[in-house]
Structure formats: structure tokens, C-alpha cells
């Protein structure tokens, strides 16, 4: 009973709580508010540290508005429409269209707003995603499957392996391409993991996310899905791409190569960018423009689906305690990716733990914390000192990509020599210059 009461008025206290109770209004109810002006929306929960003078409504346009209770002359609860639990119908198959597989892993693209909690929760299945975007059935016959339903911040290398294993089973199928619906927070990590573990994959795979949930008017989910489907049925490229908005409007969607992409904004629809260049493809309505500088690496398909998590990505900064690295080595870490300054530098205080790591046979690679440009460790004495200690420069590899590649290389290399060779070799366009 106490829990039900807390949920009914979640986050409200003091004067706001008294106001809601007096008017028999609970969180999640549809209300009409007489104020200046009037409002019609759903009462949303608030955080515990919020004030006690405002209530929050979710309006029909998807945006929230805070209303001062002192300025509300009347609030009325309206009957909510009955919840409908329908099984989505699979669109009618057109035998003239190619086949696509849509795999769902969770994330905002497969979520709805929960008006009781105020959060975005996993709710849509792959079939519901397909049915909610009817344009997809005009592009391809789409089979759907839910691998799991997790926010991407919860994904671990074991999830990368599960996705890779399922894709591997489709390598010789009649699917023209595959869409992986995925949360945006760690999509770049998964894209890199698939790029390395499924080198030479013979089909195009589009990882697709959404910055805003599918049931919001401003959602980018439908545009991203439609663009991904068009790309898959039209391209002769193979490999792994992140397909997301290229601008804040719906006029362009970018296809970023899976090892060269990074999420560079927390909330913009065009949060993803290709680092060190332009996207591999740009989709504009029915046209697909290919980057003249982009070419798919030609490799024999050789899946190696194994990851070893004993890797540390360590960002250097003035004042970094060298013991952080020493403790990582002592705890069983087997590879360290340094995110150094400028051309690939760390302070002299880090030299001793680097020596100790190398004596134990660890791989130590250097990337740069600069957004663009390449590691060049022969320019300054400090860089040359690090080279003499055995630190391996990783050119313009994105630090997150280098981390994933090290996990993959560590999981598949026979010895330290092969580990270093794999990290130096440009396997999947992870090095662009």
C-alpha cells in the first residue's frame, strides 16, 4: 500500500502533493488544466530534489511543461483511453522485394515513454518496430527477431558475441542485408566489435538507433529505419555501418563505417559523426551518395568471435596517479590502451608502470585524446622515449575502437607477437590514413 502511494505521486511533496491529493490526480493520469493558457496532458513524475510548487505535464506534442500550482484555477482528470494490447500483423510479403532481417537488442529505438515513471523503457519488439513503420514493407520483406532487450549501457562483450553469432548464422542466407536495432550510448563499441569479429562479412549490416523514443512526435526512429532499409537493398558494399541522422532535420541520413564512428553529442539527432573524414554514404530520400574516398576492405570472410575483457582504456591527464596503471596490471589486466595528449604523449610519471607492464608481456598501445588527427610519436623526445619503452602507436584509431580491437585481438591471438601484429594491421578501416 505504501509502495502504491509512492508510485501514485512519485517525486511530489509538500504543497504539490497536497494539491494533487486534494484534486484526486495521480501521476500518469490524463488531465485538463485551466490556467493561462489552458493545457491538456499527462501528469509526469518529478525527481525528489524538485521544488514543491510545480507539476509537470507531458503534452501531446511530446514535450513537457512545468505549471505553477498557484496559477492553476482548475484541474480535471479525464478518462484515459483503454490500453490496447494488439499483436502486430506481419506486413503482406511482396515476392518481388528483397529480404531483410531486423534484429532488436533494445535501446531508445525499441522503447516507449512510461508515464508512470517518466522514463523511457524497453517496450517494442522487432515485429512492432516493423509494423510501426509501414514504409518498410514497400522497400523489403522484413523478418524480425528479438535477441535481447537492454539499454546499450548495459551491454557487455558477451552481448557483442551473441549478436555476432546470430549474424554469422546469416552469412550465407538469402537476406540482402541485416538491421540491428541498438541503443545509441554504446553503439560505436558494438559496431567495432562486429567489424573485427566478423571480418569480411559478405552482407551489409546497419546498426540503427534513435535519439528519441519511437512514440514521440520528434522521434528519428522511423527515418533512420527507412533509410537503413533503402541502403541495404541498394548497396553493393558489405560490412558494418551505423545509420543515423546527418542533420537535425529529416533530409539526410548518414551511413558511418563501423570503426570510424563516434557519438559526439548527448541528445542531437545527428549525434554520430565519422571521425577523420566524411560518412561512407549519405542517404537523401531515394538517392544514396557514396563518399568517393570510401572503399570496403576486401577480405575473405573469417569469423573469430571471441573477446577478452582484460583490457584497460586509460585517459592520461596532469596529476594521474601512476598507481592506477600499476594496480590494473597487478589485477590481471593483459592490455592497456593509452589515450595520450597531442601526438601521443604521457608524462614521465607513467614511464615506470609502462616498463613494468611491458616486462609482464602486456600490450600497451597509444591513441590520442584529440578528436581528429593521428598519433606521431617520433616528433618529440617524449614520444620517442615511449616508443623505446615498447608503446605501440595506433595512428588515428579512435580510442574506443582501439579498446574493442584490443579485447578482440587478446581473445584471438596465440601470443603477444600476434596480438601486436593484429593491433598494428589495418583490418577494417579503423586506420584511415
Q: Which residues are catalytic?
A: 108, 184-185, 263
Strands 239-245 and 204-208: parallel
166: part of which helix (H) or strand (E)?
helix 157-168
Question: Cell for 174?
Answer: 538469402
Angle, in degrees to the nearest 10, between helices 187-197 and 399-412: 40
Measured distance CA(52)–CA(91) in Å, rounded: 49
Q: Which residues pair with 367 in a beta bridge?
A: 339
User: What's 254-305 look like in SS3?
Assistant: EEEECCCEEECCCCCCCCEEECCCCCCEEEECCEEEECCCCCCCCCCCCCCC
DSSP 393-425: E-TT--HHHHHHHHHHHHHH-SSHHHHHHHHHS
The terminus-to-terminus CA distance of the chain in angstroms comes to 63
**CB 206: neighbour CB atoms within 10 A?**
28
Is 219 strand, coil or helix?
A: coil
Measured distance CA(353)–CA(327) in Å, rounded: 9
Measured distance CA(368)–CA(376) in Å, rounded: 9
Measured distance CA(229)–CA(100) in Å, rounded: 8
Amino acid at each position: 500500500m505504501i509502495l502504491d502511494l509512492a508510485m501514485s505521486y512519485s517525486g511530489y511533496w509538500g504543497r504539490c502533493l497536497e494539491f494533487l491529493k486534494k484534486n484526486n490526480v495521480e501521476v500518469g493520469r490524463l488531465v485538463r488544466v485551466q490556467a493561462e493558457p489552458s493545457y491538456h496532458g499527462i501528469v509526469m513524475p518529478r525527481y525528489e530534489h524538485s521544488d514543491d510548487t510545480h507539476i509537470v505535464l507531458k503534452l501531446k506534442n511530446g514535450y513537457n511543461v512545468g505549471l505553477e500550482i498557484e496559477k492553476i484555477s482548475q484541474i480535471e482528470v479525464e478518462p484515459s483511453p483503454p490500453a490496447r494490447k494488439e499483436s502486430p500483423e506481419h506486413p503482406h510479403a511482396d515476392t518481388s522485394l528483397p529480404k531483410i532481417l531486423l534484429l532488436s537488442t533494445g535501446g531508445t529505438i525499441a522503447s516507449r515513454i512510461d508515464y508512470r515513471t517518466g522514463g523511457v523503457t524497453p517496450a517494442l519488439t522487432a515485429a512492432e518496430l516493423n509494423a510501426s513503420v509501414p514504409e518498410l514493407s514497400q522497400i523489403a520483406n522484413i523478418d524480425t527477431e528479438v535477441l535481447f532487450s537492454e539499454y546499450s549501457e548495459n551491454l557487455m562483450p558477451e552481448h557483442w558475441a551473441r549478436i555476432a553469432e546470430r549474424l554469422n548464422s546469416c552469412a550465407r542466407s538469402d537476406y540482402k542485408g541485416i538491421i540491428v536495432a541498438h541503443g545509441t550510448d554504446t553503439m560505436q563499441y558494438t559496431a567495432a566489435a562486429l567489424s573485427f569479429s566478423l571480418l569480411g562479412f559478405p552482407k551489409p549490416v546497419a546498426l540503427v538507433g534513435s535519439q528519441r523514443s519511437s512514440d514521440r512526435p520528434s522521434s528519428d526512429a522511423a527515418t533512420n529505419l527507412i533509410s537503413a532499409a533503402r541502403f541495404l537493398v541498394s548497396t553493393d558494399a558489405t560490412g558494418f555501418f551505423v545509420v543515423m541522422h546527418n542533420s537535425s532535420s529529416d533530409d539526410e541520413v548518414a551511413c558511418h563505417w563501423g570503426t570510424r564512428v563516434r557519438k559526439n553529442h548527448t541528445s542531437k539527432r545527428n549525434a554520430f559523426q565519422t571521425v577523420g573524414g566524411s560518412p561512407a554514404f549519405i542517404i537523401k530520400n531515394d538517392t544514396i551518395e557514396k563518399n568517393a574516398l570510401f572503399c570496403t576492405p576486401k577480405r575473405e570472410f573469417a569469423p573469430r568471435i571471441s573477446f577478452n575483457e582484460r583490457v584497460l582504456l586509460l585517459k592520461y591527464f596532469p596529476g594521474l596517479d601512476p598507481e592506477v596503471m600499476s594496480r590494473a596490471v597487478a589485477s590481471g589486466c593483459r592490455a592497456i590502451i593509452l589515450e595520450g595528449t597531442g601526438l601521443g604523449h604521457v608524462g614521465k610519471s607513467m614511464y615506470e608502470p609502462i616498463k613494468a607492464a611491458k616486462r609482464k608481456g602486456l600490450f600497451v598501445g597509444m591513441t590520442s585524446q584529440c578528436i581528429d588527427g593521428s598519433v606521431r610519436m617520433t616528433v618529440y623526445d617524449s614520444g620517442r622515449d615511449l616508443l623505446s619503452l615498447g608503446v605501440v602507436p595506433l595512428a588515428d584509431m579512435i580510442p574506443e575502437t582501439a579498446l574493442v580491437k584490443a579485447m578482440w585481438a587478446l581473445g584471438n591471438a596465440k601470443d603477444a607477437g600476434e596480438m601486436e601484429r593484429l593491433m598494428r594491421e589495418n583490418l577494417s578501416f579503423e586506420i584511415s590514413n
